[in-house]
């Protein structure tokens, strides 16, 4: 009956079943997801509201889905009595509001499309991540995505000024304000950022924009070790803080994976080294000598033995190559074989210490395990991903022990085990161990208040209803 009502409401373009729905049913890493009753693809907010109302009355779970690139299994169903609510037909991108400080978009818009549209108007929406060709604004809000520019411009919750949300009973909250300053009560818009589709379906968003930089200087730097990379990054922040828009790191292990499996990318420096940093400076003024600042920094690092080699990009193609080496780290490791992914953050000054101690802990548990640490140097976000020893095809049943050792270490160091990807279904057990009962109970209270019937993405973030 419910399927019939949804089919009638949404029409053939808006209600998919069978093989058409199957394409939406598994997550990016192919770890989670059962075939749902169907996939709803509403064309506007009214249809989203009517869809949620029908499901809510029928006790059918609703799983919001964006680009399905999430890494914690939150965008697919865990039961057949569920629908996936895809925002893919709601992808309109408006004209920037007067002054170019913000723009209203439908949340099915793909991130890369928002970039392209804003670039034509000399504006930027400064959220960047490896999945930007597929990830949609609703999913980025749902996970409160971070990415490579978060340390300068903030995470998704800092880039969203207003939201329109369909609540669990089908009510629409219109909070599409364009102002940064709005303290008229709780910060409701921020509550939905990172809520992983468990509190409401975000249908439209007002995104914060910035003027496009007029110049850019990018360097790839090879460093003596990870502590040297951290020291180099700290010095750069002191010397070029307001111009720094990218500060990423990876190691020679990850570089090896990329060059072995994606050889076309190539390595643009003469010397291999234990660690690499990718630096990007940008400015909206042409008068700032960005290249000279970077050259000074390279000299400073070489004089102290931190920097082994380095190059400043001479063209956009050169720059793209530098970024590819960093962005293809996950793909290089995926092509290497089995892997365990971790999304950890520690205070930025302690990255090297974390990787050193963490690698030793992992080696004790599984001799020969390969620790591929890469990520966002400026905000301490480390994707500390493991590959089994060369020749091994899996982790010999040690998956949880290895993960828990790293998570316990990050927690002891004052960090997080879910820095930018969320909890989803994958990390609920970790939350039970590593987050206090008080914190978890606060979250359950919020869920119960906004979605008493647990219609929206049940099982995600909070876990099964007690
Ligand atoms: C190669 C690669 C690189 C990545 N790099 C990064 C990175 O650097 N930083 C980072 O933060 N993440 C990264 N990710 C993870 C992923 O891209 C982000 O989590 C992204 O925000 C997910 O967007 P999506 O549209 O694919 O969302 P989905 O995977 O479809 O959904 C993610 C969550 O949002 C919810 N959701 C989706 N749409 C809505 C909506 N309209 N309203 C309410 N809830 C909704 C879903 O229910 C789910 O809980 C990467 C992923 C890949 C594959």
Transcribe 150-182 into DSSP letters. HHHH--HHHHEEEEEEE-TTS-EEEE----S--
1 pLDDT band (50/70/90 cuts)?
confident
pLDDT bracket for residue 464 (50, 70, 90): confident
Q: Which of 48, 68, 139 to mutate to test the pocket of ligand 1 (most atoms within 8 A of CB)?
A: 139
pLDDT of residue 137: 98
Position 466 pLDDT exceeds 80: no
Helices 351-365, 399-412: axis angle to 10 degrees equals: 150
- The pLDDT of 140-155, averaged and rounded, is 96
Mutating to test ligand 1, I would choose from 142, 197, 450 the residue with most ligand atoms within 8 A of its C-beta, which is: 142
- Name the pLDDT band for 365 (thresholds 50, 70, 90): very high
Tell me the CA–centroid distance for residue 427 and ligand 1, in Å: 15
CA of 340 from ligand 1 middle (Å) equals 19
pLDDT at 414: 96
129 lines ligand 1 (CB under 6 A): yes
Buried-exposed string 240-249: b where 16+ CB fall within 10 A, e elsewhere? beebbbbbbb
pLDDT band at 100 (very low <50, low <70, confident <90, very high): confident
- Ligand 1 centroid to 231 CA: how many Å? 32
pLDDT number for residue 465: 80
Would you say 107 and 66 are in contact if contact means Cβ atoms under 8 Å apart? yes
The domain ranges of the chain are 2-86, 102-211, 215-330, 337-429
The pLDDT value recorded for residue 195 is 98
What residue owns the CA closest to ligand 1's atom 8? Answer: 147
Output the residue whose Cα is nearest ligand 1's atom 18: 70
pLDDT of 216 reads: 96
Is residue 98 scored above 90 in pLDDT? Answer: no
pLDDT on residue 446: 97
Residue with CA closest to ligand 1 atom 15 = 70
Q: Are 123 and 209 in contact (CB under 8 A)?
A: yes
Distance 341 CA to ligand 1 centre (A): 15
Of all protein residues, whose CA lies closest to atom 46 belonging to ligand 1?
Answer: 75
Q: Residues 10, 47: contact at Cβ < 8 Å?
A: yes
Give the orientation angle of helix 226-240 with respect to helix 351-365, to 10 degrees: 160
CATH tag, 2-86: 3.30.43.10
Read off the pLDDT band of 193 (50, 70, 90): very high
For ligand 1, whether the C-beta of 246 sits within 6 Å is no
Q: Does residue 167 line the site of ligand 1, with CB under 6 A? A: no
Question: Is the pLDDT assigned to residue 323 strictly greater than 90?
Answer: yes
Across the range 345-374, mean pLDDT stands at 97
Q: Which residues pair with 370 in a beta bridge?
A: 387
- For ligand 1, whether the C-beta of 130 sits within 6 Å is yes
pLDDT at 95: 97
Distance 90 CA to ligand 1 centre (A): 16
Looking from the CA of residue 200, the nearest atom of ligand 1 is 43
Is the minimum distance from the CB of 418 to ligand 1 under 6 angstroms?
no
Cβ 458 under 6 angstroms from ligand 1: no
59 Cβ neighbours under 8 A, 6+ residues apart: 81, 453, 455
Atom of ligand 1 nearest to the CA of 136: 25
Q: What is the mean pLDDT of the chain?
A: 96
228-247 mean pLDDT? 96
pLDDT at residue 134, rounded to an integer: 97
Domain 215-330 CATH assignment equals 2.30.30.830: no
Q: Is 251 in the pocket of ligand 1 (CB under 6 A)?
A: no
Q: What is the mean pLDDT of residues 128-144?
A: 97
Q: Where are the beta strands (DSSP E) in 301-364?
A: 307-312, 343-345
Total residue length of the chain: 466
Specify the residue with its C-alpha closest to ligand 1, atom 49. 196
Distance 179 CA to ligand 1 centre (A): 25
* 288-302 confidence digits (pLDDT tens): 999 999 999 999 999
Please choose, from the candidates 180, 177, 191, 103, the residue with its C-alpha nearest in 3D space to the C-alpha of residue 142: 191
CA of 139 relative to ligand 1 center, distance in Å: 4
Task: Please give the C-alpha separations between residue 195 and each of 29, 374, 435, in angstroms, as whole numbers.
Answer: 21, 26, 16
Q: What is the mean pLDDT of residues 212-237?
A: 97
Do the domains 337-429 and 215-330 match in fold? yes
Ligand 1 centroid from CA 186, angstroms: 25
Distance 421 CA to ligand 1 centre (A): 7
* Residue 420 Cβ contacting ligand 1 at under 6 Å: yes
Domain spanning 102-211: CATH 3.30.465.10: yes
- Nearest residue (by CA) to ligand 1, atom 37, is 139
Q: Stretch 12-29: mean pLDDT, rounded? A: 94
Question: How far is the centre of ligand 1, averaged over its atoms, from the C-alpha of 70 (Å)?
Answer: 4
Cα of 88 vs centre of ligand 1, distance in Å, is 14
Examine the pLDDT at 455 and tell me if it is beyond 90.
yes
Class at the top of the CATH hierarchy for domain 337-429: alpha beta
Cα 160 to averaged position of ligand 1 atoms, centre (Å):
15
Q: Is 236 exposed, middle or buried (0-12, 13-18, 19+ CB in 10 A)?
A: buried
Rounded to whole angstroms, the Cα distance separating 406 from 355 reads 9
């Amino acid at each position: 009956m419910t399927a019939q009502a949804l089919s009638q409401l949404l029409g053939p373009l808006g209600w998919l079943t069978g093989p058409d729905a199957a394409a939406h049913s598994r997550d990016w890493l192919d770890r989670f997801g059962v075939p749902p009753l169907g996939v709803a693809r509403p064309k506007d907010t009214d249809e989203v509201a009517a869809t949620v109302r029908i499901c809510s009355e029928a006790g059918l779970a609703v799983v919001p889905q964006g680009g399905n690139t999430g890494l914690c299994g939150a965008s697919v169903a865990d039961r057949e009595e569920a629908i996936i609510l895809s925002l893919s037909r709601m992808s309109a991108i408006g004209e920037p509001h007067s002054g170019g400080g913000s723009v209203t978009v439908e949340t099915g818009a793909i991130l890369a499309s928002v970039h392209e549209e804003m670039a034509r108007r000399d504006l930027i929406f400064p959220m960047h991540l490896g999945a930007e060709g597929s990830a949609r604004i609703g999913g980025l809000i749902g996970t409160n995505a971070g990415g490579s520019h978060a340390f300068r411009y903030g995470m998704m919750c800092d880039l969203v000024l207003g939201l329109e949300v369909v609540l669990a009973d089908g009510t629409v909250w219109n909070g599409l304000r364009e102002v940064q300053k709005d303290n008229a009560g709780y910060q409701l818009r921020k509550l939905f950022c990172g809520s992983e589709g468990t509190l409401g379906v975000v249908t439209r968003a007002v995104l914060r924009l910035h003027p496009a930089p007029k110049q850019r200087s990018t360097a790839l730097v090879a460093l003596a070790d990870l502590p040297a990379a951290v020291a180099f990054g700290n010095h750069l922040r002191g010397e070029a803080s307001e111009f720094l828009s990218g500060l990423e790191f990876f190691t020679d292990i990850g570089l090896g994976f990329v060059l072995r499996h994606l050889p076309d990318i190539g390595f643009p420096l003469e010397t291999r080294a234990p660690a690499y940093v990718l630096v990007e400076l940008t400015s909206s003024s042409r008068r700032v000598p960005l290249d000279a600042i970077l050259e000074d920094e390279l000299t400073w690092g070489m004089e102290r033995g931190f920097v082994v080699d380095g190059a400043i990009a001479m063209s956009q193609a050169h720059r793209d190559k530098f970024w590819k080496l960093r962005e293809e780290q996950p793909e290089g490791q995926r092509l290497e074989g089995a892997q365990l992914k971790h999304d950890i953050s520690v205070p930025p000054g302690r990255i090297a210490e974390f990787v050193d101690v963490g690698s030793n802990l992992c080696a004790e548990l599984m001799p020969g395990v390969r620790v591929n640490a890469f990520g966002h140097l400026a905000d301490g976000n480390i994707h500390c991903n493991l590959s089994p020893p060369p020749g091994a095809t899996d982790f010999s049943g040690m998956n949880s022990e290895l993960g828990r050792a790293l998570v316990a270490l990050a927690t002891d160091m004052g960090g997080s085990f879910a820095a930018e990807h969320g909890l989803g279904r994958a990390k609920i057990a970790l939350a039970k161990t590593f987050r206090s009962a008080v914190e978890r109970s606060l979250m359950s209270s919020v869920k119960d208040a906004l979605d008493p019937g647990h219609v929206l993405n049940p099982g995600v973030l909070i876990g099964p209803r007690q």
